[in-house]
Amino acid sequence: MNRVRDPFNLHNLSLNRPGTIAAINILRATATTAATEFRDRAEKAAQQAVETAAKAAEFAEQAAERTRDAVEAAAKEVERALDHTAFQSQSQSQSQADLEQGTLLPAAAPAAAEETYDEEDTEVEEEYEDPGDMASFSIPRHVPSFTDPARQAEDRLWAAATRQRAGPSAGAGGVLGGVQDKVGGFLNPDRRSLPMYKDKPYGYGPGGARPRPLLRKKRVLGLFTLVVLGLLWFTGFFDEHHERARAKLGDWGWLSSDTKARSKADWLKRRERVVEAMELSWDAYERYAWGYDEFHPVSKTGRNMAPKGLGWIIIDSLDTLMIMNLTSRVTHAREWISKSLTWDQDQDVNTFETTIRMMGGLLSAYYLSTEYPNLAPISDDDVGAPGEDLYLEKARDLADRLMSAFDTPSGIPYASVNLGKFQGLPSHADMGASSTAEATTLQLEFKYLANLTGEKDFWDRSEKVMKVIDDNQAPDGLVPIFIQPSTGHFHTQNIRLGSRGDSYYEYLIKQYLQTHKAEPIYQDMWNDALQGIRKHLVTYTENSGFTIVGERPSGLEGNLSPKMDHLVCFLPGTIALAATEGLSEREARKKPGFWNKQREADMKLARELMQTCWGMYRYMATGLAAEITYFKIPSDPLPESSSHTSPPDSIFDDPAGPDATWRKDYEVHQMDAHNLQRPETVESLFYMYRITGDVKYREWGWDMFKSFVNYTAVEDGGGFTSLSNANVIPPVIKDNMESFWMAETLKYFYLLFSPEDLLPLDKVVFNTEAHPLPVFEVGRLLKTGWERKPRTTTTTTTGETKSA
């Protein structure tokens, strides 16, 4: 559905002349931008005006009260000083009586008064510290001396001037005027003769006589009516689409009401809820941290990672905006990229993160804008238009800089790059080693760029990494998580599918699919690795028999640690993708010569792991998974090949609740209970639904989505935040919105609830940051330039070889 307002019904005009269409497009884009800007500004201005007025009134009242107290205290002090001698001679009982009548201060009073003052002083300081407060309405730290003769003379002068200019009815109108009325009134009933602030005396202005109150009232009323009408129009109040209004968090009553049975659920309606979450997230970022690389939604601030910013959030979110057809927001993002983005900065960046998020985001935006011009319709290649191929040019410029990471003795890229200096930099930690996953999760992006530009170097250098890794002949295809760029050898024995290991496996099968299965070498590597995973890492939990993928921190000879990072939950979806090669399971089973026992077994493993990941969500108080979960396994872990039946899904609804047996298999340590809005589980749910067609995966996703909305939404339209502890209610919040929240998590929710023909899995591959890139045919220029060494020997994780 196109969400752009179309007051002139341009959509329905059947004009075929290209010039007219282009003109309409320009008109539409301009109108959309203007409307959005006007709407945002009007909303902001109205909100600010209301807030300012409320604050002003509040502060004015407080100010008046405190100042009156101060004046009264000062008067009492004077009185006390004058009567000091008399007080000395009075008896204690008399003093007490006077005190009760409020005519004098006891000996302890000055100290008490001082204490009170200190407290107030602190309060005032707090008010100054809070940037949200209106400093101009705070109590002045030093109350002015009202007995100063110079001040009294000034007062008389201002009072006379005010009376002259304003006349007797001055002060009757305006929001601010009202405030001053209040303040002045408290200070002195004849407030026009004693202004609150000497630099802004009441009623004194350069304009001479004030407008007549009635006329002024009419003007204010007229202006107010106009603003209200404008706001109502822009919020869609006068038409049947209440799209904008729904984006307010307060309207999300559906959280408790939409509990429809699977068969009755309206998935497109649920998908709209995801769009609203995206709008809310983006608008909050746009409002509070536009252009910054980080967004802290609770404090409503932003921060840059480079002097001029890297567009970290804008670029990472761009293709999600496109897929959701949020045209005006895409226009704004594109404008920032065109006008503000520069890679020419003296800044060290992480090679992998910058490739998957920035290069991946730009390439995907390029792909979508050229292949799906109807999604958020902005043409990227209007002939002669300024900024033609903007996304591709920016991606290309970035890639040239990132390529310097590959200038190493082995060809394994350095962990970092200085963008401005075109210089690769070894990691400061880990003795200069790079993460294995980071070195091997650049290939989809560089290969697609090579295909677009015809520049073979992008292909060759990213591909070489795969050869260097494979030449190590890691036993059973399981690679340790660090590798040295200086030697090309692994640097540790630690093997896992969590952080630093995960996307090595993901990119094996995706490289195979990216080139239309023209490179079977990567399928071969994937198959080896999956067998290795089954053999060394898969086992079952003690009580309920959940299937898990553990870690081998001391190499394959060491013990199995029953620990799963949330990151590992990418695996069920990727196994399913590999098993059907992007087809639905039904199609794959029917395809002649395709289906076999191995694919069948792989789908079973995918289903079981998906259930375990879903259990990570069910286990937590908020329904949002922890960063790391441990599992209870027998002291002698069961091999994957042992006879095993996974538990029914209904196990999670065990009426025993907190005492349910299944819960004894899960364990979350306090320090791992954070939730960073990560996408891996919903990513896998998306693949599992697309491939199996089983609606339960959508249902699980819907429950997860509701938990995110319920527990991570931030007040005051702040968007959504990560949690420091997702295992308590209310959760402990973290004040950070990760860029992958909009890039991945919300995108996968949207796709999970979308019809299957949106970005079909046999036409696109999603990079590890959820940026869709196309499957393409390799020409003669680009082809796999290496072969695997024969596996007659195995190599230990430190590089020694031994007979297999």
Residues that bind ligand DMJ (CB under 6 A): 503, 567, 678-679, 740, 744, 768-769
| d(C-alpha 795, C-alpha 440), whole Å | 19
Instruction: Record the tokens describing residue 336, joined without a space.
Output: 């920032």
Give min distance, CB of 185 to ligand DMJ, in A.
58
| β-bridge partners, 737 | 295
- 440 among annotated binding-site residues: no
Q: How many CB atoms lie within 10 A of CB 634?
A: 11
| CB nearer to ligand DMJ: pick between 627 and 665 | 627
Instruction: Record the tokens describing residue 694, joined without a space.
Output: 């089983």
User: Tokens 């405030």 label which residue?
Assistant: 179
Give the DSSP H or E segment for 774: strand 772-774
* Enzyme catalytic residues: 353, 502, 627, 680
- For residues 733 and 724, the answer to whether their CB atoms sit within 8 Å is yes
| CB nearer to ligand DMJ: pick between 39 and 510 | 510
| CB nearer to ligand DMJ: pick between 139 and 315 | 315
Give min distance, CB of 514 to ligand DMJ, in A.
16
Give min distance, CB of 770 to ligand DMJ, in A.
7
Look at phi and psi of residue 105 and say left if phi exceeds 0, alpha if psi is from -120 to 50, else beta.
beta
- For residues 708 and 741, the answer to whether their CB atoms sit within 8 Å is no
Give min distance, CB of 505 to ligand DMJ, in A.
11
| CB nearer to ligand DMJ: pick between 390 and 533 | 533
- For residues 565 and 498, the answer to whether their CB atoms sit within 8 Å is yes
| d(C-alpha 327, C-alpha 324), whole Å | 9
- For residues 645 and 608, the answer to whether their CB atoms sit within 8 Å is no
| CB nearer to ligand DMJ: pick between 327 and 768 | 768
| CB nearer to ligand DMJ: pick between 64 and 743 | 743
- For residues 567 and 678, the answer to whether their CB atoms sit within 8 Å is yes
Instruction: Record the tokens describing residue 494, joined without a space.
Output: 């630690």
| CB nearer to ligand DMJ: pick between 396 and 678 | 678
Name the DSSP class of 262.
Answer: G
Instruction: Record the tokens describing residue 499, joined without a space.
Output: 């952080």
| d(C-alpha 361, C-alpha 367), whole Å | 10
Give the DSSP H or E segment for 84: helix 84-89
| CB nearer to ligand DMJ: pick between 493 and 768 | 768
- For residues 540 and 546, the answer to whether their CB atoms sit within 8 Å is yes
Q: How many CB atoms lie within 10 A of CB 619?
A: 20
Give min distance, CB of 748 to ligand DMJ, in A.
10
Give min distance, CB of 686 to ligand DMJ, in A.
13
User: Tokens 């539409």 label which residue?
Assistant: 28
- For residues 486 and 412, the answer to whether their CB atoms sit within 8 Å is no
Question: Residue 248: helix, strand or coil by DSSP?
Answer: coil
Closest CA to 368 of 421, 330, 405: 330
Dihedrals phi, psi of 661, to nearest 5 degrees: -60, -40
Give min distance, CB of 479 to ligand DMJ, in A.
16
- For residues 785 and 795, the answer to whether their CB atoms sit within 8 Å is no
Give min distance, CB of 740 to ligand DMJ, in A.
5
Instruction: Record the tokens describing residue 781, joined without a space.
Output: 């220029």
Give the DSSP H or E segment for 225: helix 213-234
As a residue count, the chain comes to 804
Residues placed in the known binding site for Ca(2+): 768
Residues placed in the known binding site: 768
